[in-house]
Every structure is written in C-alpha cells, then in structure tokens.
Amino acid sequence: MFSQFASFSKIRQESSWLLGSRWLMLLSLVTLTFVVYAEPPVADNADVELGRRIYMEGILPSGKPLQGKRQDTVQVEGATAACETCHRRSGMGSLEGNIVVSPINGGFLFATAENRPIALMDQRAPKNLTRAHEPYTEASFTKVLRENVNVDGRAMNALMPKYDLSDAEVKALMAYLRQLSAEVSPGVGTDKVHFATIITPDTDPKKKDAMVSMMQASFAQRNASQQTYSGRMRMPIDLIPRTLRNWELVVWELQGAPDTWGTQLAENYRKQPVFAVISGLSNTTWAPVHTFCQLEKLPCMLPSVALPPAETGYYSIYYSRGVALEADVLAKHLHNQEKNAPHRLFQVYRDNEVGQGAAQALTKALHDSGIQIENRVLSGNEPSALKAALKGVSNKDALMLWLNPADLSALNKVESQKLPAVTYVSGFLTQENYDFASKAWKPQIRVVYPYDLGEKRQGSEASRQGSEESLKRWLKTWQLPVVDVAFQSEVFFNLLFLTDISSQMLDNLYRDYMIERAEDMLSLGSNVSLYPHLSLARGQRFASKGAYIAHFATDGKLVAESDWIVP
C-alpha cells in the first residue's frame, strides 16, 4: 500500500488502492465544492437517544426489536436490521461486495447544492464518489424507509430493508442522523491535524528515538507533498478538492507506575487533543493506554507492544496478539507432532506482565495435550539465574524461553550436556537479535517467528521490492539509522497506512470513519510489512493471526520449519 509517502523514495510503481486513472476525464466534467456543513436543527436529546437505539442496536422506542423486510420476503430483526449494520457507526456507508452503501449521516442526507460533501465510496475505484441528490425531507425520508424509494424516485438496492416505522420513530431516527458525524473530530483544526504517539517507561531509548524520528520525517514529507510544485507525483485521488491540513505530531512519554498513566494521558490530551494515536512503544503493559483510548473514543493504530490486552475495544487495532499468539502457535505445533511431542516442557519467563501473560497462555493452550508443564521464573540478572531456572531440564524435555536478548545471552554459559531436546524462543521478544545462539545451542533452537521469511521479505535482486529493502531505502533517504528492522517495519507500515487512510477520508475526518476505513483497507489483504498476512474483517482488531516455527540453516539464516500456523 503506497501513496505519495512511499512513492517519494521510489519503492513502488503503483498504488494498491488508488487505481483507475480514467476517472480523471470524468473529474473535469464535474464541479466539486469544499465541505461547509449547514447548522443542523436543534434536536431533542430524548429523540436523539431513541434514534441512536434504532440506528445502532435495532431497538424501537417501545423496547421491541426493529423489523424489516428485504424483497418483501427476507425478514431481518433487531441488531441484524439496525442501520449501523450496513451504514456503519459513522454513518459514512460501506462496500458490500460490489454494492455501494451510501453515507446517511446528516451532512450527506440533508445536504444542499451549496454545502455538498464528498466521500470516496470504493477504495479500489477513485472515480466512485458520492452522487449529488436533493436533500431529504421528512416526507422523502419516510418514503425511503417504508417503500425503499429514494429522494430521486428510484428504487433502492434489494439489500435495503423496508421498515414499518411510525412518524415519531422516523423523527427520532432523523434527529440522530442530523448530529451523526456532523462535525470533524477533536484534534482536527482548520489547517492542522494533530496525532500522538505514546511511549511507556523502560523502553529501549534507541528504538524510541528511531520511532519518533521516522514519524517526524514522514510527517514532514507528507506536509511537503501537499504543496503544489512542478514535478510532484500526484495520485488521481489527490485531485479531489479538500481542505489542506498539515500533520502535527506530539509525543506522550509516560512516567512512573502504570496506575498513574491514565491521569498523565488525560492531562496530555487536555493540553492538546489529538485525532488519533499512531504507533507507540511498550515493553510492559499497554492496558492503561488501551483503556484511555476506548474511553476517549480515540483511534489507537498499530502500536508495537508484546502483549496487547486480551479484551478488545472498538478503537484499538493491533498487529497481533503478540506473545499470546506465539503461545497458541507453539501449542498447535506441539499438538501436530502427536506421538513425537515432548512429555515435559519447561517455560522460563520474567515475573512481569508480558512473561506471565505468555506463560499463562501456553499453559492454557496445552491443558489437554498430555504435556507436563513446569514453570520457572527467572530471578536476577546474573548468568547464574538462568542456570538455576534450567535445573532439572534433560535432553528429553522441551524448553520455552520467554526472554529478551539480554537474558538469553546467559545461555552461552550453560553446559552443553544439559541441552534440552529442543528450545523455543519468542520472535517478538528476541527482537531479531540471535547473538545468544552459540554453536552448541543453535541446532536445538526454534524460533516462534511472526514475520515473513525469505525472498518476499528481502526482495529479489531484480525487483528490490521486498518490505525490508523498502524500509532500508526510505531510512537511507532520510539519513535515519537501522536500529531494529522488525520494529521499524511496523512503524513504516503504519505511516504508509495512515497516509492512505487519510487520503481516502478526504474531509470526512471522523474517528469512527477512520477505524472503518482501516478495517476495509486491510480486508483487501495488501500490505508492505514484515508480516506475511495482514487482514481485518469487520470487528477484528488483530491483523496478523499466525506465525512460523523456524530454525537456523547452516548459513545462519532463519528458515521456516513449518507452514504458516494459524491457531
């Protein structure tokens, strides 16, 4: 997925989503205006809430479920009949296969020729913009609900149910729609959009600096690309008129204990509201940040964390479940070995949230496997601590080390005659650093590896289009160091993703719409990242859902020992 941000460093010849140059001829025949929303009528709060329940939940004011019919035969009821099912939480519509579901929030439903907004309806076809229509009145809105006939007198698509709503229920629904996505979200100004990135304590200073530097460089690049100068590469979607707003980055670096982070975040947000949180870095818990974003209805896009909260929310999207996913992948791998599976597995971990979460996840996943689990907490930082944790491990046992490179370096001091049959390590926690793997240990080590392996990642010499090569060339362009390829590739992908999302949103800068666009765009399965498969279905919040079991080849490179395992 590339836009101007990616094309600047010539890392791709075409955009994954912004296709179809023929529509430029059409654009010259159409006059499009900037968005200036009319002031909506003041609605009764009670009506708005009644309308919200109809729209979001499919519940009528009487408490009974909303009912509708498609093609006069197919009955839908309750949540299935709710408007949000197709028109989405933002009211900005959706794409159901090849069927365009139009926006129905007040800005689009009741717009006049003088204040008509524009939305891109199909990310695969930039010419597919919202069409002009007469503003709906109460009478025409009632007709579309009851008879499936729109304001222009045309029959709606068969997916649109017919609803037998009373006049009072129609008014309540209209009241809700008039205020739905009526104003741009907090963090959006007349000429700027503010974004935050969040860093928790105890993170690697080099990684923190690398992330912030990458974000600052990409924001500067994106802001410069808005300026009209000779020779600038422009995508078809760039020619749609919109308000030019520069991006501004604020860095929220948290301090102290996790139970104080919520207060710190609230104070940072009070000083400078932001439209979304982009990336982020944590080696410990992310739960307070997750909770804050959910409370503020603040999109939190793809932070780099080892263990996201198990409970998902609407506003946070993650690359994967982190070490919890690795635990499930390893459990499935061991299950697949059947009779060859080890009878006993030791897992060693630090007594912190990530270590505990990983160990608990693996214990749960193997509860009915017949494999005996023994847990060992690593205490202290000296090499003797790991020796003590491995006491009693035999060459018939399996070992899972939920440890970082600093802890794993002590493996070199463990006697070779005590090596277990196989030793698994976490791809997330090792951070692409395998210096701990001595000559004695290397044949025994298997990495639960969540990233791409081989040619796709590196890129062929002919194409030079691999995700790692793309990242390195961009970093070189901006004179930024390569610190951690896997981590920096996450930041890089997220910045490309943000550029494409914002380009497609046009002036419709609503937080709910941003999440919906992210779901839709990742559902296409196209990405330039170290993850081989990134995708989101509606309601999903973890984009990568599997990993490999990998070992070291004779040349020292990691190679896949298993297929891509999705637990």
Strand ordering across the sheet containing 445-449: 372-378, 344-350, 398-402, 422-426, 445-449, 548-552, 558-560
Q: What is the percentage of the chain residues whose pLDDT exceeds 70?
A: 85
305 and 204 both lie in a single domain: yes
pLDDT (0 to 100) of residue 413: 79
Domain that holds residue 134: 38-179
Question: pLDDT class for 241, splitting at 50, 70, 90?
Answer: confident
370 and 309 both lie in a single domain: no
Last residue of a domain, one of 151, 179, 207: 179
Residue 558 DSSP code? E
For 136-159, b/e burial (b = at least 16 CB within 10 A) is: beeebbbbbbeebebbeeeeeeee
389 and 418 both lie in a single domain: yes
290 Cβ contact list (under 8 Å, min separation 6): 300, 308, 309, 313, 316
pLDDT over 70 (residue 537): yes
pLDDT (0 to 100) of residue 264: 98
Structural tokens at position 143 = 């007709």
329 and 420 both lie in a single domain: yes
Minimal CA–CA distance to 160: which of 170, 168, 151, 150? 150
Any domain includes 19 = no
Domain with residue 485: its CATH number is 3.40.50.2300
Contacts 24+ apart (CB under 8 A), 412-417: 412/436, 412/438, 412/441, 413/383, 413/386, 413/387, 414/386, 414/387, 414/390, 414/441, 416/440, 416/441
Place of tokens 């509860």: 367
Minimal CA–CA distance to 533: which of 550, 546, 551? 546
Any domain includes 28 = no
pLDDT (0 to 100) of residue 51: 96
| Helix axis angle, 167-179 to 45-52, nearest 10° | 90
Pairing label, strands 398-402, 422-426: parallel
165 and 310 both lie in a single domain: no
More confident residue, 247 or 530: 247
How many C-beta atoms surround the C-beta of residue 202 within 10 A? 9
Domain with residue 50: its CATH number is 1.10.760.10
52 and 171 both lie in a single domain: yes
45 and 167 both lie in a single domain: yes
How many C-beta atoms surround the C-beta of residue 224 within 10 A? 13
pLDDT over 60 (residue 406): yes
427 and 512 both lie in a single domain: no
Any domain includes 367 = yes
Distance (Å, rounded) from C-alpha 324 to C-alpha 544?
12
Any domain includes 33 = no
pLDDT (0 to 100) of residue 412: 81
Report, in angstroms and rounded to the nearest whole number, the Rg of the chain calculated over CA atoms: 26
Distance (Å, rounded) from C-alpha 306 to C-alpha 323?
6
In order, the DSSP letters of 251-285 are: EEE--S-GGGHHHHHHHHHHHS--SEEE--EESS-
pLDDT (0 to 100) of residue 130: 86
Q: Residue 276's beta-bridge partner residues?
A: 195
Question: pLDDT class for 527, splitting at 50, 70, 90?
Answer: low
How many C-beta atoms surround the C-beta of residue 84 within 10 A? 16
Any domain includes 541 = no
Distance (Å, rounded) from C-alpha 522 to C-alpha 358?
27
**Phi and psi angles of residue 55, each rounded to the nearest 5 degrees, phi first:** -70, -50
410 and 444 both lie in a single domain: yes
**pLDDT tens digits, residue range 56-108?**
999 999 999 999 998 767 799 999 999 999 999 999 998 877 788 899 999 99
pLDDT (0 to 100) of residue 197: 98
Distance (Å, rounded) from C-alpha 247 to C-alpha 237?
19
279 and 397 both lie in a single domain: no
21 Cβ contact list (under 8 Å, min separation 6): 236
**pLDDT tens digits, residue range 188-225?**
999 999 999 999 998 999 999 999 999 999 999 999 98
191 and 303 both lie in a single domain: yes
**pLDDT tens digits, residue range 411-455?**
887 765 578 999 999 999 998 899 888 888 899 999 999 998 876
Which of the residue ranges 32-46, 98-112, 228-242 has the most confident prediction, judged by mean pLDDT?
A: 98-112
Any domain includes 159 = yes
Any domain includes 236 = yes
269 and 369 both lie in a single domain: no
pLDDT (0 to 100) of residue 237: 63
- What's the mean pLDDT when you consider all of the chain? 86
Strand runs labelled E in 273-360 = 276-278, 281-282, 300-301, 304-305, 316-317, 344-350
Any domain includes 102 = yes
**pLDDT tens digits, residue range 378-391?**
998 888 899 899 99
CA atoms within a 13 Å half-sphere pointing along the CA-CB vector of 519: 20
Domain count, the chain: 3
**pLDDT tens digits, residue range 470-498?**
899 999 999 999 999 999 999 999 999 99
| CA torsion angle 144 149 151 156 (round to 10) | 100
